[in-house]
Amino acid sequence: MEEFVGEIWHKIITRQAQTDFTQAKAEFVDLQGQLATYFRALGGDPGKNLEGVGPRAFNTKRRLVQRIAGTHRHYPVCWQDDRGLRLPLNLAYFPDNGLNEALYFWQTALAAQLPKMRHWFADNQRATLALLKKRPGLAKGYRQLVEATLKTRPDLNMLEDAEKERELAIQQAMLEPGSVEQLPLANGDPLPVPIWVYPAPLYALSPESDDDLDDMGDGSRAEKELNSGRKQAQRFDDAKQTDGLLVFKLECLFTWAEQVDLDRCQEESLDDDASTADDLDIITLSRKRRAGASKLKFDLDLPSAQNDDLPVGDGIRLPEWDYRKQSFIKDYCLLQPMLADDALPAPIPDYLAHQARVLKNRFSLLRPQRTWQRRQPFGDEIDLDAWLELKTQPQRHEEQQDLYRSRNNPQRDMACLLLSDLSMSTDAGLGANGGSEQRVIDVIRDSMVLFAEALASTGDPFAIYGFSSVKNKQVRYQLLKNFAEPYGDEARGRLLAVKPGFYTRMGAAIRQSTEVLKLQKSQQRLLLILSDGKPNDIDRYEGRYGIEDTRRAVIEAKQQGLQPFCVTIDERGNDYLPYLFGEQCYAVVNDLARLPVLLPKLYLNLTGING
C-alpha cells in the first residue's frame, strides 16, 4: 500500500514539476544519419562518431515543486570530446517538434564550428557569430530558437542580485552573440542553455595504467566499447588495489559504484546493475588492460565437440611468415575447414527482402550482353568490315574468307572470393547506432547475404568463406559457399547462421583462400576481404608479427595473379591498411549500417561493370 501511494504521489508531483514538452519530443535515433552527414559537411572531424548521451547533472536553482519531486537535477545538453559528438538522446525543450529538431541541427552545426573549447561562455558566442556570418541561412532559424529558449528561461523577478545579473548576461549573449565578454559570478550553475555546446565533463583523468601493452587486439577493442557508453566515465588508477598476489580480482574489474576504497560483492542480476548505472552520475572504470585480456583468455575456450561445427578433413598445414627471421615457418598453422552442418536451409529474411530484390534487379541487368563476334568462318550475318578489308587488300590470300559474324553467349571472366572476419570482436554492439541491439556480426552477416544475392544474379562465379582462429593449431575456416555449389537456401542458411568467435589469424586464411581462388580459371580473380580490425591472436600473432605475416600472404596472393582488396570497418584502418594491401586496394567503411548496401556497390566499382 505504501508503495502504491508513493508511486501515485511520485507521478503527480513529477507531472507538476515537469517543464519538458514530451508531446513534441524529437528523438536522436531518428535523425542520427542526417545529423552525421550534416556534421561532416559543416567541417566536423569525419572521424568523430555521433552518439546519444543521457542528461547531465547541473546544480541549478530549482523551484520548490521541482525540489520536492526530485527532478531538474539533470538536463540534456550537447557536448563533445576527442572521440565524438554527444547529443542528447531526446530533446523536448520546446513545444514544437520542428523546433526541437532544429535544435539538434543547430547543436550539430555549432559543435562542428567549435571543435576545441576553452571558455564556455565566450567560445559559444564567438562560434555562433562565426557560424551565422558564414552561413546566413541559419540566422532565421537561430532567431526562432533564441525566442523559444528565452521563453523557457527563469523569471528575472524571482532571482537574487548576482544570479539575476548572470541570467541577464546569458540572455543578452543569446540575443546578440559576442556582445558580452564576462559571465558574472553567482552561486550554483545557471540554467543550461540548450542552444550552446558544453565542454566535455571535467573529471580529471588519472594516470594511464602503467602496463603499456601497445596492442591488445580484441582486449583494447572491448575496452573502447565500454568507454563509449552513454555515461560519463572516470578513470581511476587502481594500481594499488590490484598489486600483490591477487593480480586478478573479478570484483576489481568494474563495480557499479562511485569509487570508494572497499570491495563490494558483485550483484548477480544484470538488470539491477543496469538500473544502478542509470542512477549514477559517474561510472568509475578501472583500467588494467592486462587483467582484461587475461579474462578474455579464460573465456574463450573452444566449444565442446558436440556443439561445434563439423570439421572437414584433418586440416591443412600452412606456413607462416616470421619477420624477425625473415623466413617462413613451415607447416606452422593448422587450418581446419569447418562446415556448419546443423544450419537449416533458410529463405531470405523479411527485413532484407526489399534490398535483396533491388540489388537483384540491378545486378541482373549487368549480366554480360550477348555480343557480335567478328571474322567468323560462319555465322548469322555478313561481316561488312571483313568484306571491305578483303576488297581493299586484294593481295591477301583468298582462303582467309572469314566473312561472317555471329552472336556468342559470353561469360564475364570474373571470379570472386569473399573472406569474412568472424572473430569475437565482431560480437561488439554497434556503438554508433545509439545503443541499438545490433552487433557488428549482424551487419557482416547481412552484407554477406546481400552480396551473395547480388552476385548470384550476375552469374559471376563466387565463393564465401569465413575465418577465426585460436592460436596456430586451430585456424577455423568456415565453408559458407564454395565455387561449385549453386547459391540457394542451403548456402543462405549457412550464411545466416554464422557465429562470431575467437581471434583473427588473417595470414593463414588468406593463404588458403589464395589456394582456392587460384584454381578458378577466370581471367580476373578478386579476393575480397571483409575485416573489422588488425590481425591478432592470443599467441605472438599480434602487432607487427601479425601485420607482417598478413602482408606476406597478400603479396603471395598478388603473385598468383589474384587481386586482393580489403574492406574494413576499423576507423583506424588508414594507419595500417596501405602497408598491408597497397594504397588503392582497400576501403574503410565509416558508416557500418550502410555496409550491406555498399559492399555490392563496391564490387561493381572494383570490377568496372559500373562503367
- Which residues of the chain form contacts with another protein (CB under 8 A)? 33-38, 40-43, 46, 105, 109, 134-138, 141, 385, 388-389, 391-392, 524, 526, 563, 565, 584-585, 587, 590-591, 602, 605-608, 611
Which residue, 53, 535, 570, is CA-closest to 283? 53
All cell numbers assigned to 163: 544570479
Which residues lie closer than 8 Å to 402 by C-beta, 6 or more apart? 375, 376, 377, 383, 386
Using the minimum distance from each CB to another protein, give the nearer residue, 187 or 523.
Answer: 523
Least CB distance to another protein at residue 395 (A) = 10
Residue 352: Cβ within 10 Å count: 17
> HEC states along 475-533?
EEEEEEECCCCCCCHHHHHHHHCCCCCCEECHHHHHHHHHHHHHCCCCCEEEEEEEECC
Beta bridge partners of 74: 57
Antiparallel, parallel or unpaired: β 78-80 and 197-198: parallel
Using the minimum distance from each CB to another protein, give the nearer residue, 549 or 570.
Answer: 570
Cα separation, 376 vs 24, in Å, equals 73
Residue with cell 575485416: 531
Using the minimum distance from each CB to another protein, give the nearer residue, 296 or 585.
Answer: 585
Least CB distance to another protein at residue 299 (A) = 35
All cell numbers assigned to 511: 593463404
Contact 255, 264 (CB under 8 A): yes
Using the minimum distance from each CB to another protein, give the nearer residue, 16 or 400.
Answer: 400
Least CB distance to another protein at residue 43 (A) = 6
For residue 372, what is the enclosing H or E element?
A: strand 371-376
Cα separation, 316 vs 333, in Å, equals 8
Using the minimum distance from each CB to another protein, give the nearer residue, 66 or 458.
Answer: 458
Using the minimum distance from each CB to another protein, give the nearer residue, 394 or 486.
Answer: 394
Using the minimum distance from each CB to another protein, give the nearer residue, 344 or 388.
Answer: 388
For Cα atoms 409, 413, 418, give the angle at the middle one, nearest 5 degrees: 130
Contact 416, 462 (CB under 8 A): yes
All cell numbers assigned to 50: 555521433
Least CB distance to another protein at residue 141 (A) = 8
* Crossing angle of the two packed helices 350-364 and 440-458, in degrees rounded to 10: 30
Contact 49, 83 (CB under 8 A): yes
Which residues lie closer than 8 Å to 300 by C-beta, 6 or more apart? 424, 470, 501, 502
Using the minimum distance from each CB to another protein, give the nearer residue, 297 or 572.
Answer: 572
Length of the chain: 611
Least CB distance to another protein at residue 590 (A) = 6
Using the minimum distance from each CB to another protein, give the nearer residue, 460 or 537.
Answer: 460
Least CB distance to another protein at residue 430 (A) = 16
Using the minimum distance from each CB to another protein, give the nearer residue, 75 or 104.
Answer: 104
All cell numbers assigned to 37: 552527414
Least CB distance to another protein at residue 75 (A) = 25
Using the minimum distance from each CB to another protein, give the nearer residue, 416 or 508.
Answer: 416
Least CB distance to another protein at residue 193 (A) = 21
Least CB distance to another protein at residue 268 (A) = 42
Q: Helix %, strand %, coil % for the chain, to 5?
A: 40, 20, 40
Could you say which DSSP state residue 536 is in? B
Least CB distance to another protein at residue 516 (A) = 19
Least CB distance to another protein at residue 33 (A) = 4
Least CB distance to another protein at residue 61 (A) = 35
Beta bridge partners of 49: 84
Least CB distance to another protein at residue 375 (A) = 13
Using the minimum distance from each CB to another protein, give the nearer residue, 108 or 472.
Answer: 108
> HEC states along 542-553?
CHHHHHHHHHHH
Using the minimum distance from each CB to another protein, give the nearer residue, 316 or 602.
Answer: 602
Using the minimum distance from each CB to another protein, give the nearer residue, 132 or 169.
Answer: 132
Least CB distance to another protein at residue 10 (A) = 40
For residue 565, what is the enclosing H or E element?
A: strand 563-568
Give whole-number Cα distances, 99 to 102, 128, 136, 298, 508, in Å: 5, 18, 18, 51, 55
Please spell the DSSP secondary structure of 449-463, one letter per residue: HHHHHHHHHHT--EE
